[in-house]
A and B are shown apart, each in its own frame.
Chain A
Amino acid sequence: MTAILKRVALTLVLLFASSFAVFAAIRLSGGDVTAARLPASATAADRELFLQQVGLDQPIVRQYFTYLGNMFRGDLGNSLTNNASISALAVDKMRNSLILGAAALVLVFAIGIPLGLVAALRRNSWVDTGITSFSVAGMAIPNFWLALILIYIFAIQFQVLPAAGQGGWRYLVLPSVVLAAEGVALTVRMTRSAVLDTLGNDFVRTLRAAGLSNRRIYLKHVLRNSLLPIVSLAGLRVGQIVGYALVVEVIFGWPGVGQTLVNAVLRRDYPVVQFFALVLVVVVTLGNLAASIGYTLVNPRLRK
């Protein structure tokens, strides 16, 4: 329990640190904030005035504390490009990304674990070779390229799935598959080696000697023992999905956090970048936190 509390405290520190890092990085990365909002004909004085209005003429540390103060009051600020309220924008984008990310995460484990288990149990057979090659391919193929190939096959050649946009579940298929691909590949390999490791344990022989069926031994005992490393790295899978969401949402025109963030960075829309980047940090941190808690829950040594 204290371990979990310590973890939560550490998470809070991390959130503050990363909010400042994002805040500073976007300001130090150059580019002209005023270009997105003001016409090209705007004079230097106009630009100065605009910076004053949005508070960007202040020292960076003061800007940061103003930003923190506003955030704690629930004011996320407005977009610099169209003055839209970020809070109004946030809910929709976050929900869209959550749907896509959750679908991908489910695919990662729902496909990766069974395939890894089968590969391990049929090791050195053609089934194993097939699954392992598939997972090597999954790791080697860049996801933007995979996205284009899948769009070409399923949206253009066979026209069974939409190429981009958002609507029913059919719109979710291609982006979530692309987003999950590398995670599936890694989970397959990790599960395979964890299962092989577990199979070498003496207790498997004990269970056999007690007359348990193979099915029960593999699906209950071996899988449960092999889950530890998979669960402990589930946080990394979340991080991966969040990272790739930036690319995948842009390619598939998925109106989520990733797409919004990429557009905001291109326009130097500081408040939008700050908020959505922080959202990603929170998701990754929560993912890791959930993974540690999950690890504690599945490991009886830590639970007791």
Chain B
Amino acid sequence: MSSDTDPIVDPGTSGTTPVEHATDARTPLLEIDDLRVGVKGDNVAYDIVRGVSLSLYDNEILAVVGESGCGKSLTALSVLALHQSPPLHITGGAIRYRGVDLTTLSAAEMRALRGAEISMIFQDPMSALDPMFTVGSLLTSAVRAHRKASKAEARNAALEALADAGIEDPRRRFDEYPFQLSGGVSQRVMIALALVNDPSVIIADEPTTALDVTVQAQILERLRMLKEERKMGIMLITHNLGVVAAVADRTAVMYLGEVVETGSAQDVLAVPHHPYTNGLLAAVPRLNSKVADLKPVMGRVPQPQEITAGCAFRDRCERALDRCATEHPVLAPRHRTSVRCHNPVD
């Protein structure tokens, strides 16, 4: 599951035993560094993503988990500058891909990168595919957006991507329109679209949320296979802890625009240290528990405009201390994970 089993050792760190935290010594494929994304309007200005740092390595699935509105999707979208701008703008920090800061790229450079180096898969596959064009035409357009390819070459690349995405009958699907596809097949087409130019990174924004449970499992399994076969880095945005447990190597829990806990998926799920992570896990139904045992996380998420000094979670936190109201906690290592909390759970 985790990078412990990763046989690839970066030459710069050769000799290091790849145990937990050792991943930090390798060069990440994608590094989000203190990213801030916010609304900047005529008389409003506040950040929604407030200093997020994440590293994605090759051959790993990083799950970014959090509830609606925590800024996880916005973080993902801003990597490829796909956030709605205006009113949203990157207001600080850097996003480095193989050492290049993507926030400084021109529109043309960013376009060349999209799909070819970093791809994205979106939530609702039925509305995310252009209804007026066939699957094949969509895929071949994507191929030709990045390289000169003859009709036959583009077609072959498209058919291959469809097969890699786990589609049974690529030739038939090639000539079909999105409305002829089921949700699961549509999502596979999205995956094929993400794969067709052979990128190193895929960012999947809630890729299974709109799908049936059985299809969800197949899609996740496909992502896991791609990671292993192609040594890709996959950033998986989700609100579903079950998804994290099923496929993630590492995870980052986000709350209100910040990463509050991060570590290997196993560690974070087994021994959460942040009260929020802890609360989320207590709210997950289990087969051997009664509904009455489910503990919702109390209170509501504040609006980004309401954020004041101190810990953003304190109003909902049972373990809040006095200093939580004044002093903003930093993300600090604790046992096997890193936690942003003054009074972590042990």
Contacts and interface: CB of A to CB of B under 8 A. Distances in A.
A203 B128 contact: yes
B50 to A, nearest CB: 24
A304 B114 contact: no
Contacts of B51: none
A269 B134 CA distance: 56
Contact of B179 (A202, A203, A220, A300): A300
B265 to A, nearest CB: 26
A202 B127 contact: yes
Contacts of A301: 131, 177, 179
Nearest to B115: A211
B114 A210 contact: yes
B128 A211 contact: no
B112 interface: yes
A209 B111 contact: no
Contacts of B113: 211
Contact of A211 (B111, B130, B132, B133): B111
B128 A202 contact: yes
Contact of A221 (B115, B130, B196): B130
A205 B145 contact: no
Interface residues of A, number: 23
Contacts of A209: 80, 82, 114-115, 119-120, 122, 194
Nearest to B134: A300
Contact of A300 (B111, B177, B196): B177
Contacts of A214: 111
Interface size on B, as a range, is: 20 to 34
B128 A205 contact: yes
Interface in B90-118: 111-116
Nearest to B116: A211
A35 interface: no
A240 interface: no
Nearest to B84: A205
A210 B130 contact: no
A300 B112 CA distance: 30
Interface string A84-96: 0000000000000
B82 A205 contact: yes
B111 A213 contact: yes
A209 B76 CA distance: 12
Contacts of A203: 127-131
Contacts of B111: 211-214
Contacts of B124: 202
A38 to B, nearest CB: 63
B190 A206 contact: yes
Contacts of B177: 300-301, 304
Contact of A202 (B114, B122, B132): B122
A216 interface: yes
B197 interface: yes
Contacts of B141: 207, 210, 212, 216, 220
28 contacts: A201-B127, A202-B122, A202-B124, A203-B127, A203-B129, A203-B130, A205-B122, A205-B128, A206-B128, A206-B129, A206-B130, A207-B141, A208-B80, A209-B82, A209-B114, A210-B114, A210-B141, A211-B113, A211-B142, A211-B146, A211-B197, A212-B111, A212-B142, A212-B145, A220-B141, A299-B132, A300-B177, A304-B180
Q: Which 8 A-B pairs have the closest CB atoms?
A: A211-B115, A211-B114, A209-B120, A210-B142, A203-B130, A210-B115, A202-B127, A202-B128
